[in-house]
Amino acid sequence: MKVCSSLRIMSALLLGVLFCLSMLRGQSQSEIYSQYGTIRKVSLKSAPFPHPRRAQGYTYRDQLFAAEQHYQDSSVAIFIPNYFRPGKRVDFVVHFHGWYASIDSVLKRFRLIEQLSGSRKNAILIVPQGPKNAPDSFGGKLEDPDGFKSFMEEIVLYLRAEQLLGKSRIGNIIVSGHSGGYHVIASILNCGGLTGNIKEVHLYDGLYGEIEKYVQWIEHYNGKFIHIFTTNGGTKENSIALMDSMKCWQMPFCYTMEDELSQAMLMDNRIIFIFSNLRHSEVISVKDEYERFLSASQYLKTVRMRE
């Protein structure tokens, strides 16, 4: 197991070096990820920002994060795997980054495209730009009532206009988030307008609050919930408290150490808490957990190699 972990780490470092070399050679993101599929970075009206609540920027610990630099980017990354097969319904994986991040940094650092491709799931990856390189969990327009519905509908319209998608309707959605991404996800579950389509939530050391919204979704929508947490990420106490509450509510869940996590555990349980010895910034990619969680999903079709 240690050998496998070392190989994963070395592979991740190698991919990072190759990415940097590609950027130095002036390659675009489309060229860098072409072996995996098609990536588009587009500006959408329904993207999280700009938003009136951040028109004057945001102050954190006496430091102003100006609107112009941190809250004006309406970019959204859309990635379609090269094995993707369109149908009457199209499924999506929507990922929300945490603090001090951008679309480019999370795609590179956490290898989201590589991991989605590795899962062989027939879904399109969406990564919207949140607060750009800022210590802020606010989700902008995606926290407005029906904001997520408007966002996903605009994405579908864009894909159709670019002839990247036929007349497919929005199907199942898996929402994932790292760290501060928990906040916008909670709002999406509560009032985003597509709650019935969201079948799974994957949190990566992100259970900082809004717990009642997650519990309501788990109970009323029969949703699958996975949370991986660390010792020092700031979510351990909330995770333990929620598990204690679930015991009192007689709500079945699975709790395991990351090193003991099996694919059967991921597939056979609806509510899963995983304790990791990794650092807060490592829980998405060092052990390919993003790929593992997606691979275990029964709501997304798997495309076999021969297809």
**26 conformational bin, left if phi > 0, alpha if psi -120 to 50, beta if neither:** left
Q: Is residue 41 part of a domain?
A: yes
261-286: pLDDT as tens digits = 999 999 999 999 999 999 999 999 99
Question: Given this model, what pLDDT does residue 282 score?
Answer: 97
Cα 42 to the center of its chain, rounded Å: 18
pLDDT of 239: 97
Q: pLDDT-derived band of residue 24, with 50, 70 and 90 as boundaries? A: very low
Q: Is residue 6 part of a domain?
A: no
- Which residue range is the domain that position 73 belongs to? 29-295
Map residue 204 onto helix, strand or coil.
Answer: strand
Residue 172 located in a structural domain: yes
To the nearest 10°, report the CA torsion of 132, 133, 135, 141.
10
16, part of any domain: no
Q: How many CB atoms lie within 10 A of CB 9?
A: 14
SS3 assignment for 7-46? HHHHHHHHHHHHHHHHHHCCCCHHHHCCCCEEEEEEECCC
Tell me the pLDDT of the chain averaged across its residues.
92
CATH number at residue 271: 3.40.50.1820
pLDDT confidence bin for 166, thresholds 50/70/90:
confident
Give the tokens for residue 113: 């495209």
Residue 303 lies in a domain: no
Check whether 183 has a pLDDT greater than 90.
yes
pTM over 0.75: yes
For residues 229 and 207, give the distance between their C-alpha atoms in angstroms, rounded to a whole number.
8
Position 305 scores a pLDDT of 77
- Compute the average pLDDT of residues 115-131: 98
Q: Confirm whether 147 is domain-assigned.
A: yes
Asked if 256 contacts 274 with a C-beta cutoff of 8 angstroms, the reply is yes
Please state the domain count of the chain: 1
